[in-house]
Amino acid sequence: MAFPDRIERTIEIAHAPAKVWAALTTAEGLSAWFGQQAGIDLRPGGSAWMKWDGGHTADMRVERVEEPTVFGYTWKVPGLPEDDPRRTYVEFTLEPVASGTRLTVVETGFAQLPDEVRGKEYDDHTKGWKHELGELVDHLDAAA
């Protein structure tokens, strides 16, 4: 059996797509729920980054921007050498629904990783998306 390559989470958020979009695609939005600091050049090929209080950083490259429905980026994988070109791809899809927004996040690219990194990263990201999407909802609810 092949190693899973995909993490997918879908949640319904009681906020308009424009508010969810801003939380996903602006430095202010990202730093309010995902990292403690963030920067983003919102265009395909643009760079983005996040930093956390514990010193962890994430360097990202914007890959897809279809406002207000699709936002995708790749990011470096912890545990790989700094110059390693392998990345995972994260894509957010926003769909308006009666209750607000249906948000789906899909992360792919784990199967390409070396054995010594793959399992830990897949498990960490599986748990991480559940936690981070909860943080997103909490942020949007508090800002309402």
- Distance separating alpha carbons of residues 89 and 16, to the nearest angstrom: 25
Q: Give pLDDT, residue 2.
A: 65
The ranges of the chain with pLDDT < 70 are 1-3
- Distance separating alpha carbons of residues 77 and 115, to the nearest angstrom: 13
Q: Give pLDDT, residue 81.
A: 87
Dihedral Cα 49, 67, 107, 40, nearest 10 deg: 0
Q: Are 27 and 40 in contact (CB under 8 A)?
A: yes
Q: Give pLDDT, residue 4.
A: 82
